[in-house]
Amino acid sequence: MGHGKFGTAINCIDGRVQLPLISWMKEQFHLDYVDSITEAGPDKIMAEQGPEVLSIRNRVNISVRAHSSNILVIAGHYDCAANPVDEAQHRVQIKKAIQVAYSWNLPIETITGVWINRDWKVEPV
């Protein structure tokens, strides 16, 4: 069991979005640590239930079991190379991704989505 309060982020591999999301999650949910699960364009992968979804789920499960994480945040972001769609489409995908995460029936208190805008600021979806 980990020491401190953990949350879990499903985020893009893009280095521009890592710190903004981690900082926002720590502040928003009063976390000590954020476990990061990264994929290229994770909102699209989860919304379309691509082949990587099982791997994402397995990694979320490790975070939940090993660190008692009960906060899950799924992010999409501006200027995503792996998912070059407009903000509106990202937001639709993020909402679908949240539904997919809920279907896993993991013991998670909060599942939410965020959009990281062109100024690298986090906006709840």
Q: Which residues pair with 35 in a beta bridge?
A: 8
Report the first-to-last Cα separation within the chain, whole angstroms.
31
Flag whether 51 is in a domain: yes
- 24: domain CATH number? 3.40.1050.10
Instruction: Give domain status of residue 12, yes or no.
Output: yes
| Assigned domain for 1 exists | no
22 domain-assigned: yes
Number of domains in the chain: 1
Torsion angles phi and psi, residue 10, rounded to 5: -105, 110
- Domain assignment present for 100: yes
Range of the domain at 115: 6-124
Q: Can you tell me which residue has the tokens 């679908």? A: 96
pLDDT by 10s per residue, the chain, length 125? 457 999 999 999 999 999 999 999 999 999 999 999 999 999 999 999 989 999 999 999 999 999 999 999 999 999 999 999 999 999 999 999 999 999 999 999 999 999 999 999 999 99
Cα–Cα distance for residue pair 125/123, rounded to 1 Å: 6
